[in-house]
Structure 1
Amino acid sequence: MGREIFMRGQNASERLHEFLLLGAQLTPEKPAVVEYHENETGFLSYRQLQDRVAGYAKTLDELGLDIGDRVILEADTSASSIAAFLACSSRGLPFVPISPETPTKRLLSILGTIRPAFYLQADDGRRDGIPEHIGTGRFGGSGVTIERAAAPRVRHRREIVAADPAYVVFTSGTTGRPKGVVMSHRGILAFYRGMLQHGIVGPESRVATTAPLQFDFSLLDIGLALGTGATIAPVPRSLLRWPRRFVKFLRDAEITQVNGAPSIWRPVLRHESAQLAELGDRIRGVLYSGESFPLPEMRQLQELLPEARIVNCYGSTESIAASFTDVPRPLPKDMERMSIGYAHPGAEMMLVDDDGAPVTEQGADGHILLRSSALFTAYWDDPAATGEALVPDPAAPESGQVVFRTGDVATRGEAGELYLVGRADSMVKIRGNRVELGEVERRAAEFAGVAAVSAVLMPRSGADPVLAVFVVLTPEARQEGTFDEMGLCAFCMEDLPGYMAPQEIHVVDELPVTPNGKIDRPALREIGEAAAAARRGTTVTGAPAGAAAPTADRSDRP
């Protein structure tokens, strides 16, 4: 089936499930999703995927849920979890993806915020203790099994419209509680259409997705594959920990495109480069997002995969992504940083100064504003945060149009392309996941003996950055000398995902501040670097005098 015919059908779609299941009409017997069981790979065809969606939807419909009722979906990415969220879409039920590894306390916070009608988890899920007022069920290859019916509800709506919420993805929030990003059918499809115009994959591609289902990058991958009539291949989470098994999966599943955060490549480049090179004529594309790709590692990846088109994807959960920029091949020897290019078709990235005035001159920094039809609707039940992020278009404030204040700072290159400078706030990326340092700080501050705390992302040469917390003790804890560093780590992990748990803890006499009274994070970084150098028996030039040695170092944590 020609790409042109497929794209015409996609342009007629108005809702998420229609867009992603078009292949069931045009290429019904073609593989839609690769399934991996006990070291063997199979697949679900587009027709089989549609049948599974229909079966799930029928059971969901019998629950009597109304359009707009939220359904929690706890699972890793798989054929069945894709079918589950498409079934929710077909019934107008916004799905809320949750990781099976989400700590119970954090999950309960999300449940209290989103107030779901039903909780679905995979057949092999181990979650229990879901509040009794929420219906529960399981899903898998044999269908959906209802364990506890949803509370009786009244249906007020009859039609699913494009402006309705399709899903809510929870990210780290500055308020100390997870923040729910609401995306409509119209918004997600606007993004998919803009992305697909880049021609990153074709109908014969097999796309490996490495992102967890609750991370919006997984929805990008699924849309990229199924929206093109290609095949999506979820990589089991367990395989990502073992580079040899990961490469074997890529070979066995006949993968042609690999998507994920740059960190998925580091173990492979270090330990299985020869095996990866054997796939050099098969893997035709790599798309990465979530963090910068170290240039030495990028050069190595280009050498091992000489046929691969490598694309730098930039964006936020609030718009899934904003740009797709081809990485030069080969990288210029004098290149210092990658460009994030220009916004995808249907969107525009603007730069403004602190007063909202346009920044047009080359080399000047500005805040990135995104103008797009693919913007999120709101943060769930948080109008104040929504108003801070969705702001009037500075070029035409009278129009009522809003743009997204990304929180990122960039500079403009010679041809108008953008280069990311950093964040204007305390948000960082850890292994591709968005983390508000304020949320980590608020949790750590609740631990006994902590008087003040600041979180900092510490760069590590040739390795993933490390999340460190710098702690000032209460007078009592300082006097007693009983502060429990291991206990602080465990306390954080009770409420935060693993990637948000501190990997280093440094006890300091005080938190350094800048002249305007803000926490001096660069100074804290120097303290951390001095402590790391002391452990190695080396010296860090410029480290502040009297830098405190860490009471605990958790840099070997996964």
Structure 2
Amino acid sequence: MKNSVLSWLDETAKRLPNKLALQDISGNITYQEYRSKSLAIAYKIVELNKGEMKKPIVVYLEKGKEVLVSFMGVAYSGCFYSPIDTEMPQSRVDKILEVLKPEIVITTNKLKTNFEKFNFYGSYIIYEETICSEEDETAVKPYTEKIIDTDLLYVLFTSGSTGVPKGVSICHRSVIDYTDWVTETFNITQKDTFGNQAPFYFDNSILDIYSCMKTGATLNIIPKKLFFQPVPLLEYIKYNKINTIFWVPSALIVVSKLKAFRNVDLSDTLKRVLFCGEVMPNKQLNIWRKFLPNVTYANLYGPTEITDACTYYIVDREFSDDEPLPIGIPMSNTDILVLNDEDKLVTDDEVGELCVRGTSLAMGYYNNPEKTRSAFVQNPLNKAVPEIIYRTGDLVRYNEYREIIYISRKDFQIKHLGHRIELGEIETAISSLEEVTLNCCLYDEKNQKIVLFVDAQVDRDYIKERIEKLVPEYMIPGKVIYLENMPINANGKIDRIKLKELM
């Protein structure tokens, strides 16, 4: 039994020292280089921490291989990493720092100037100044050996309904279980090359990072700009012999909408197309299946709190364009409970809330016991012993094949552009504008747009300009509707049902 994910990097670097591990637009590194540089960073962390373990270390770097090297450096030191997007607004970064209270950040000389604007008064590790030494492994080993599988590996921040981001805390054991399942289910080997799309602050990247590390596959970090250029994107996949991708559906949809397959033939290149993070329309998936019929397609489902995914469906039959694609069945060592309003298991095609139990569950929200208690609760079906389940807030039902079908969100948290977003955070930002008294955000599933209803005569460009420092780009409303009188229900709250009729 493995105590940490680091045994994979140790074993792969020993077995395949010169194998290409990570590749990005600036170059590549081998598995031996991956490990050596990670140990050098770990040595610096151990020095600065004076031997203390289990502490949060922020990674503030542009997307590239350096981020993953830093992640593993943090892990080798017995601490846990938390990535912060370099394009994130200052107010959000400061809130994350307030929750984490980190004492160390890993960054570059260039980015250090940016980070100094935030509320951080700790130490910096400058990536390019970290030099590998033969002493690194000897100095770090005592700390690595103390790691147990329930120690935290990372904390990823999702949107919070009160404007305070939530730090989802995941331990080594959860990632080990998930990665074992992925590599076995999809038969991943050292001969594979992954094409990474997901940002490293987004949980979809976990599959890419650790599946490659465990098996010795190569991880190619695809340049972000290519996802807006479908033909060059497919040409890049073909040229770099990428045979496995795990993308959000919106990235796959761009390719199918613009008919890029007619320009680039990937039939001898791609073997696996996996997706997760939002609903994948069968209309678009059918285009992929038409041009690449021999590829394995799989729909994975799960929130950040479940170590990326907890159910899956390997597409094994035909679907019409207007049919929903199943999210499938539970992954290995994971149990799914679909509970109705009375906390009993649903029957037949009854709709209920998808709840999860198993080692995939997060440890909770970092430094947020109240939110943790509300989402991670005692299993109502088990009165005998303590057993925590996670309530996803997603409504689902079973189809005739006993596969799970996703219906919608139970609350106002949405999935948009691969991100889990709480509309309340956007509303909080809008409420900060002096012109605004009342506002409400809803999600237009059909057109995949965040719709803002507001009682001030403001347009989208104005809203974007005023709140872009408060929320990330992907949370900016796509449509703004002005209402002189906001509808109010009997409880004195904004009537969301009436607003839905106006979308």
Letter in 1 for 2:466: F
Aligned to 2:467: 492
Aligned to 2:487: 512
Q: How does the TM-score come out when normalised to structure 1? A: 0.82
- Report how far residue 363 of structure 1 moved: 0.9
Residue deviations 1:391-446 (CA, integer Å, cap 9, x gap):
11122133101111111111012232211111111110111011001111111111
Name the CA distance, whole Å, in 1 between partners of 2:110 and 2:188. 32
Aligned to 2:35: 50
1:68 has 2:47 as partner? no
Q: How does the TM-score come out when normalised to structure 2? A: 0.91
1:466 has 2:449 as partner? yes
Residue deviations 1:29-72 (CA, integer Å, cap 9, x gap):
222112323xxxx5322112112212222222222352022111
Q: 1:266 aligns with which of 229, 253, 256?
A: 253
Contact kept? 2:311, 2:329, Cα under 8 Å: yes
Query: Bigger CA drift: 205-214 or 17-26?
Result: 17-26
- Report how far residue 230 of structure 1 moved: 1.2
Aligned to 2:135: none
Aligned to 2:305: 318
Aligned to 2:19: 30
Name the CA distance, whole Å, in 1 between partners of 2:18 and 2:194. 18
Paired residue secondary structure (1:368): strand
Aligned to 1:362: 348
Contact kept? 1:138, 1:144, Cα under 8 Å: no
1:392 has 2:378 as partner? yes
1:137 has 2:125 as partner? yes
Contact kept? 2:440, 2:452, Cα under 8 Å: yes
Query: Bigger CA drift: 163-172 or 18-27?
Result: 18-27
- Report how far residue 500 of structure 1 moved: 0.7
Paired residue secondary structure (1:489): helix
Contact kept? 2:22, 2:65, Cα under 8 Å: yes
Q: 1:219 aligns with which of 186, 189, 206?
A: 206
Contact kept? 1:76, 1:213, Cα under 8 Å: no
Q: Structure 1's 485 and 20: CA in aligned 2 closer, same or farther, altered over 3 A?
A: same
Q: Structure 1's 160 and 295: CA in aligned 2 closer, same or farther, altered over 3 A?
A: same
Q: Structure 1's 324 and 26: CA in aligned 2 closer, same or farther, altered over 3 A?
A: farther
> Unpaired segments of 5 or more residues in structure 1?
1-11, 146-154, 474-480, 529-558
Residue deviations 1:114-162 (CA, integer Å, cap 9, x gap):
100111124653623244522123324x6379xxxxxxxxx99993222
Name the CA distance, whole Å, in 2 between partners of 1:157 and 1:83. 16
Letter in 1 for 2:452: V
Paired residue secondary structure (2:14): helix
Paired residue secondary structure (2:451): strand
- Report how far residue 113 of structure 1 moved: 1.2
Aligned to 1:210: 197
Contact kept? 1:187, 1:373, Cα under 8 Å: yes
Paired residue secondary structure (1:398): coil
Letter in 2 for 1:180: G
Contact kept? 1:257, 1:285, Cα under 8 Å: yes
Letter in 2 for 1:296: K
Q: Structure 1's 334 and 253: CA in aligned 2 closer, same or farther, altered over 3 A?
A: closer
Q: Structure 1's 270 and 423: CA in aligned 2 closer, same or farther, altered over 3 A?
A: closer
Letter in 1 for 2:334: A
Q: Structure 1's 14 and 103: CA in aligned 2 closer, same or farther, altered over 3 A?
A: same
Letter in 2 for 1:493: E
Q: Structure 1's 324 and 144: CA in aligned 2 closer, same or farther, altered over 3 A?
A: farther
Contact kept? 2:338, 2:355, Cα under 8 Å: yes
1:452 has 2:427 as partner? no
Contact kept? 1:74, 1:121, Cα under 8 Å: yes
- Report how far residue 303 of structure 1 moved: 1.5
Q: Structure 1's 239 and 138: CA in aligned 2 closer, same or farther, altered over 3 A?
A: farther
Any residues of structure 2 matched to 1:37-436 within 5 Å, and which? 37=26, 42-65=27-50, 66-122=52-108, 125=111, 127-128=114-115, 129-131=117-119, 133-140=121-128, 143=130, 159-199=146-186, 201-271=188-258, 273-274=260-261, 277-319=264-306, 320-329=308-317, 331-333=318-320, 336-359=323-346, 361-436=347-422
1:15 has 2:4 as partner? yes
Contact kept? 1:456, 1:467, Cα under 8 Å: yes
- Report how far residue 516 of structure 1 moved: 6.5
- Report how far residue 292 of structure 1 moved: 1.0
Paired residues, number = 490
Name the CA distance, whole Å, in 2 between partners of 1:334 and 1:495. 38
Contact kept? 1:281, 1:307, Cα under 8 Å: no
Query: Bigger CA drift: 127-136 or 440-449?
Result: 127-136
Residue deviations 1:315-361 (CA, integer Å, cap 9, x gap):
000012111211235x23386111111110000111111121111x2
- Report how far residue 238 of structure 1 moved: 2.5
Contact kept? 2:460, 2:479, Cα under 8 Å: no
- Report how far residue 379 of structure 1 moved: 0.5
Paired residue secondary structure (2:185): coil
Name the CA distance, whole Å, in 2 between partners of 1:23 and 1:510. 63
Query: Bigger CA drift: 183-192 or 295-304?
Result: 183-192
Aligned to 1:533: none
Residue deviations 1:357-378 (CA, integer Å, cap 9, x gap):
111x221101111011111001
Q: Structure 1's 99 and 172: CA in aligned 2 closer, same or farther, altered over 3 A?
A: same
Moved over 4 A (4+): 155-158, 513-520
The percentage of counterpart residues that share the same residue type is 24
Q: Structure 1's 124 and 280: CA in aligned 2 closer, same or farther, altered over 3 A?
A: farther
Name the CA distance, whole Å, in 1 between partners of 2:454 and 2:230. 36
Q: Structure 1's 189 and 76: CA in aligned 2 closer, same or farther, altered over 3 A?
A: farther
Name the CA distance, whole Å, in 1 between partners of 2:120 and 2:289. 53
Paired residue secondary structure (1:195): helix
- Report how far residue 472 of structure 1 moved: 1.9
Contact kept? 1:347, 1:373, Cα under 8 Å: yes
Paired residue secondary structure (2:49): coil
Residue deviations 1:69-123 (CA, integer Å, cap 9, x gap):
2111123442221111001001012111111111111101111111001111246
Paired residue secondary structure (2:114): coil
